[in-house]
Structure 1
């Protein structure tokens, strides 16, 4: 397949790639459907614009397309957007791994900043825990590729993913939807809205209860009476929204949401048999072993308030404030055996508040988007790296634990402005900039105990915390007594510009060129074992050339060429000390960086009034610069295939029985590494096939859908751990804990589910 891609890349890139931003329309829209291409509105530049006039590489997936493909979770959106990785990470079912154009963040530990920003109604989600969002009351999802440093700020160096909920219609509405599927899937969603004051005040609500048995099982666990399902799902999500339309010009919205995920901790698949205990390679990639409880908890809750005021015909003002908090209690068995070779129970506790004031102005021949943004966040955590077997075997002690606790706190303020100026009737200039100032402080407590130490005791007989103290190793000595007693702090500031030219060739054709910059905040090492300094921010410089064109309202071709230079990449290594088996070295610093260039093409063809064909294609060529400070040479970008390809067909039928939409698609991801410093976890290229049939009654109240996903049952790695060394002769040298710990987590297997709903 890879050779085929190499021979035909030019043809694919120019003539056969097609967009996923326009796909099937829902049956309710089919009744009023007209021939030709759909008009799509997006808010990629923080104002409502036509997709075809926005000089940004953006994919928009609307409510109807999500429903017709049976998409219920945000990670499935990756197949619609080229050069995009959105996958469930290791350890839990709710932790997100996000990369766009080879830029992201793999390590989900507290204090590390993401490289792709996730937003719910313009509110930033700061942590990857819980970012695998289940879709409820969604209007559309926008994927913005490339750095968005001017309008969206820090930590969008790869791009941004925007989850946009549906506005209320003002009418009384109620919708109930149930789903039954593979692995005893049982989902129930209730949504609706009630006018409290006619044409003024509305209350919206939504609740989802999502349950599914595991794809596999834990063959061993710490407690016999524990649930041994692996890759199961037990999640509830709720939303309440109060909207007040004081006048035609003034709108307010108060929104609350809460998610609770009690699915089991996710167990990894041993790719190598254990050397220390009876743990052969399981028969199923979804089976695992563990010496820990299987319980896991992820809780998220948020409150936001927005005021939107159309002050004049030209000036609009918006204020958005939010408060969010999340908590995770997880048990991660790195070695995945019934022995305490490398067990990591952990807690994460995060909370943040944000405020943003936006001012948009439309003048004669120009427009301005501007704002002020403030963010205050606290991210804390606690984990115990338990190497009990090593302690008993090597030192004759009851166990061995490296405990790490700490907090990374951040205060950030920013001001931004971006203007589009008409130079002629066809040529316009976009120029913008953002200034950000951020201060961080951090503490880390790190110590060693010659016993097994757990955050909670009782489930391991005979193992107790005892009288153990762990000293602060990262911080400030305020009184000069040689003891760290306060956080360590550092601040950074950055000016991130954007400049571009857009030329409207005709009503249906726009070409653009742009330069933009983004930065990812500097940070302290949350695993520090010494009083080290902070890593510097990452900087991405990006150049894009693109064309967006509609051909006779039948064919849409959106093509973007891009090149980016990723400087001062923060790089983390976790290695055992060769001179002391009780020490786990973790180093955080900056390497020179990496370069990526590539192409993205999205094309839609409205073949007939009823048939639509879609394809998207992404290609990138990434290279990491040689850096003598890295002991182990980096071999490639992680979580970044050279090629992504999506093909889809959508056919609509209007019959006496109702409106049917038939949808089928193929999605291909080329080879990719899970870790940049090793090819031990290399996923070979694979493709998945999906098919759906959706239906709506003539009256529009009843609807349903049958969805078949991953029909060929492809197994692909989406996460893992590597604590072993692969030798030139193909053998392995044991790593931390003395075992061959090479672990992988996999995508969902083949599933089928049936959804039926009723609305009024």
Structure 2
């Protein structure tokens, strides 16, 4: 099939595809020898603008990783992108979300929370299909051809929930002879990973198939509960199959099916400290509920919920005894049709269906007491359909793409949350109303005097916080988009794009407190709609074949929702959409006879109507008060720079740098913190650097390649309140890898180490003043590994 590219955009895609299927795809520093014998950098092809073009000719800030680039860096799941991509942060999100929950932030824009109707702020796409929920979002990277990270709002071409950016994952597609690969990895903590793929012809020049499978297993790291439960372990199985049908010279149909099964314990969290906030429940819980639990749990009678449960050397252990599960099943099917109607007209259809089932159980306080335990069961299914019609006109000067999109999601969630469990029972067990609830009140006293305690006292129900909400969400999203690139001159091009999106959500909630029967939220159904036109305007100028200058203006939006955790009917409120306007300028260049690329982008974004989660203390009873509201505006600015160089045929170098700053221009008084605060998970500086040196062994002995990577992230905060006790100071991670390849590059043996300096750092943390504790989830410690692979 013909490709609608021009000038420097033409690349040898057939060669690249064969390389992908062999598991040997070139990345940015793969060599290409010129007629003069100079080894240069090979072009990388991306589809960031929904057409195939060189990375260096794509006028936007995008980082791309191909199969070999992922493997040489030891990247195994989506979270690893954070270490190698400027101004991106991917972590486990809220501690309650499980280790497969992907909280993605790009240029300071994203979403930590996993629960619907909250939506991600950065869209994840697999083979063009949007993944709506963050559970299971830490995608395994086996069978991946290429990952593209698009920074900034992608409101014209991608649309839904790409206000911060998009991560575009492309899996391999079979097309060629019988070939495949198998890889086995062992390492720290009984690690055993096995991956394999095979691509095979079914009908010559007509039908090709593939099967790719992976199983990954490893014991947990550092954190082990007192009951022996191993936290942070890996137990994942994944399979993907595909059929590629060349229906005619002009029509190609690709069908793929994938499934992933995760059966893991929870993320490796631990309690950092306890504290008595005078407005919270810490003191009353210790006075009334803890003695009851000491008797039930067989703990010493003088035990308290206090710092005795903080381990001496976190994250070496956890004193939690509550449930800890991270079970996720996902599967999906995608059908892609590419039809070359004529030399200047193409049609594409992408049909996707996906289902997800998750059971997430977390002991959030990591102590023997049931201060905060969550038991979440979520089911979700989605259908999407996208049509694209594209072509060229005006003697090839105009490239255009017209598209339509439909998305439907149906999700339901059954949640059992236990907060200061036992406090209600302890109050009911008191002989009378002995606990004053207001200043100056003398207890005991008869109702309606504000005193808690005694059987049947209605004030006791204020402290029944074991809540069971059931929720459901039905979302419909329609969009139409147009994207035009017109060559004003042989060097100057104008891009105009726009997308109109309309989204409707229907949300249902029924929530109650089972111990007392008190209603948290009666059965309620609400419908909200949002719409937005998101334009893009860009100019790009080819100074010459090797230097591209560009500037762009774009907008993005994310639809609204409802406060997802109302503990009282008055807390159930809708919130509106977020809006972002972005300005970007950049340069992409090939230097030193194409032995070096230098890409730099600067940006300024106006981020308005932020959907801010507010974690505070309920003044009525001292319990947790969680609300979401459009409570802020913030300006964000920064730069990204990426350099890849091949100074000699044996030496590859890469450097990435990100600078990010932000300032609130408006913040509602209700959020309870200062306009001087910084956005969460937003380091001011991010630096990654890598060096790779290949040593030919001669005499048919193949080659050795030594690679080292360094990743630095400056200080950042884990919550919007910028709580200093859970802030993460700057840290450095160092990885190293030694690889032997045989002369035919069929066999490969690698020895590697990650975080070899054993840096301790926090990936997720929570501050809970209402119950008086702070917790944290830690990153992976020092690890070693050995992998052996064979391609055929």
TM-score range, shorter chain: 0.7 to 0.9
Which residue of structure 2 aligns with residue 619 of structure 1? Answer: 659
1:377 match: 409
Could you say what secondary structure the match of 2:548 adopts? strand
Query: Paired residue for 2:272?
Result: 271
Alpha-carbon distance in 1 for matches of 2:736, 2:179: 30
Q: Is the 8 A contact 1:511 1:546 kept in 2?
A: yes
1:291 aligns with 2:321: yes
Corresponding residue of 1:390: 423
Deviation at 1:523, TM superposition (A): 1.1
Name the residue aligned to 2:522: 473
Computing the radius of gyration from Cα coordinates, the structure with the larger value is 2
Q: 2: CA distance between counterparts of 1:300 and 1:434? A: 30
- Give the distance between the partners of 2:761 and 2:223, measured in 1 at CA: 18
Paired position in structure 2 for 1:481? none
| 1:628-707 map, 5 Å | 628-634=668-674, 635-655=677-697, 656-677=700-721, 678-707=723-752
Indicate whether 1:323 and 2:365 are aligned: no
Whole-Å separation in 1 of the counterparts to 2:775 and 2:258: 35
- CA deviation profile, 1:590-624 (whole Å, cap 9, x unmatched): 02311111111111222111112110111011112
- 1:355 aligned partner: 385
Distance in 1 (alpha carbons) for counterparts of 2:45 and 2:639:
23
Structure 2 residue aligned with 1:10: none
In the alignment, the residues of structure 1 paired with residue 703 and residue 69 of structure 2 have an alpha-carbon distance, to the nearest angstrom, of 15
- Which residue number in structure 2 is paired with residue 556 of structure 1? 597
Deviates more, 1:654-663 or 1:184-193: 654-663
1:215-270 deviation digits (Å, cap 9, x = unpaired): 0343334xxxxx61011111111111111111221111111111111010224211
State the partner residue of 1:580.
Answer: 621
Aligned to 1:465: none
Say if 1:206 and 1:239, in contact at 8 Å, map to a contact too: yes
Matching of residue 304 in structure 1 with residue 337 in structure 2: no
Partner of 2:193: 187
- Give the corresponding residue for 2:565: 527
Displacement of 1:584 in angstroms is 4.0
2:467 to 375, 380, 402: 402
Alignment of 1:92-131 (within 5 A): 92-131=98-137
Whole-angstrom distance in 1 between the partners of 2:328 and 2:529? 31
| Residues matched between the structures, number | 692
**SS class of match (2:670):** coil
Q: Counterparts of 1:173 and 1:209 in 2: how far apart (Å)? A: 20
Query: Structure 2: how far apart are the matches of 1:200 and 1:745?
Result: 50
CA distance in 2: counterparts of 1:381 and 1:629, whole angstroms: 32
Task: Specify the alignment match of 2:777 in structure 1.
Answer: 745
Match of 2:154 among 124, 136, 148: 148
The separation in 2 between residues aligned to 1:250 and 1:590, in whole angstroms, is 47
Q: Aligned partners of 1:368 and 1:195: how far apart in 2?
A: 34
Q: 2-side partners of 1:369 and 1:34: how far apart?
A: 38
Question: Closer, same or farther in 2 for the Cα pair 1:56/1:556, shift >3 Å?
Answer: same
2:503 is aligned to 438
Corresponding residue number in structure 1 for 2:253: 252
1:451-486 Cα deviation digits (max 9, x unpaired): 7xxxxxxxxxxxxxxxx68575363xxxxxxxxxxx
Structure of greater relative contact order (alpha carbons < 8 Å, 6+ residues apart): 1
Paired with 1:238 and 1:34, the residues of 2 have a C-alpha distance of 41
Maintained 8 Å contact 1:59/1:80: no
Q: Which residue of 2 aligns with 1:8?
A: none
Contact 1:400 1:449 in 2 (8 A): no
| SS at structure 2 position matched to 1:401 | coil
CA distance in 1, matches of 2:37, 2:99: 38
Which stretches in structure 2 are left out of the alignment for 5+ residues? 1-25, 276-303, 430-459
- Residue of structure 2 equivalent to 1:728: none
Structure 2: distance between partners of 1:631 and 1:428: 45
Does residue 511 (structure 1) correspond to residue 549 (structure 2)? The answer is yes
* 1:262 is aligned to 2:267: no
Does 2:753 match 1:708?
yes
2:222 pairs with 1:216:
yes
Deviation at 1:139, TM superposition (A): 0.9
Question: Structure 1 residues 571 and 527 mapped into 2: Cα distance closer, same or farther (>3 Å)?
Answer: same
Change (3 A) 1:633 1:293: closer
Partner of 1:81: 85
Question: What SS is found at the alignment partner of 1:320?
Answer: strand
Deviation at 1:24, TM superposition (A): 4.4
Counterpart of 2:602 in 1: which secondary structure? strand
Matches within 5 A, 1:13-92: 23-25=28-30, 35-89=39-93, 90-91=95-96, 92=98
1:411 is matched with which residue: 458, 468, 476?
A: 476
**Secondary structure of the structure 1 residue equivalent to 2:724:** coil
Distance 1:268 1:213 in 2: 15
DSSP-derived class of the 1:580 partner: coil
Query: Retained in 2: the 8 A contact 1:688–1:711?
Result: yes
Q: CA deviation at 1:314?
A: 0.9
1:373 and 1:58 mapped to 2: Cα distance? 23
The residue aligned with 1:425 is 490
Match of 2:608 among 544, 567, 581: 567
Q: Deviations along 1:62-105, whole A, 9 cap, x unmatched?
A: 11111112221121112221111122333422111110100000
Return the offset for 1:311.
0.9
Distance change in 2, residues 1:142/1:152 (3 Å): same
Output the aligned Cα RMSD: 2.2
Say which of 524, 544, 547 aligns to 2:584.
544
Counterpart CA distance in 2 for 1:283 and 1:636 is 29
Q: CA deviation at 1:133?
A: 0.8
Change (3 A) 1:152 1:171: same
Tell me the alpha carbon deviations over residues 508-552 of structure 1, each in whole angstroms, 9 at most, x when there is no partner: 111011000000111122223326442111001000011111112
1:570-609 aligned at under 5 Å gives the runs: 570-581=611-622, 584-609=624-649
Work out the CA distance in 2 between the residues paired with 1:628 and 1:672: 22
Residue in structure 1 matched with residue 11 of structure 2 by the alignment: none
Query: Helix, strand or coil: the match of 1:405?
Result: strand
Aligned counterparts of 1:563 and 1:587: Cα–Cα separation in 2: 29
Report the secondary structure of 1:683's partner residue. coil
Three-state SS of the structure 2 residue aligned to 1:516 is strand
Asked if structure 1 preserves the Cα contact closer than 8 Å seen for 2:176 and 2:201, the reply is yes
1:169 to 165, 175, 184: 175
3-state SS in 2 of match to 1:630: helix
What's the TM-score, normalizing by structure 2?
A: 0.84
Give the secondary-structure state (helix, strand or coil) at the position aligned to 1:673: coil
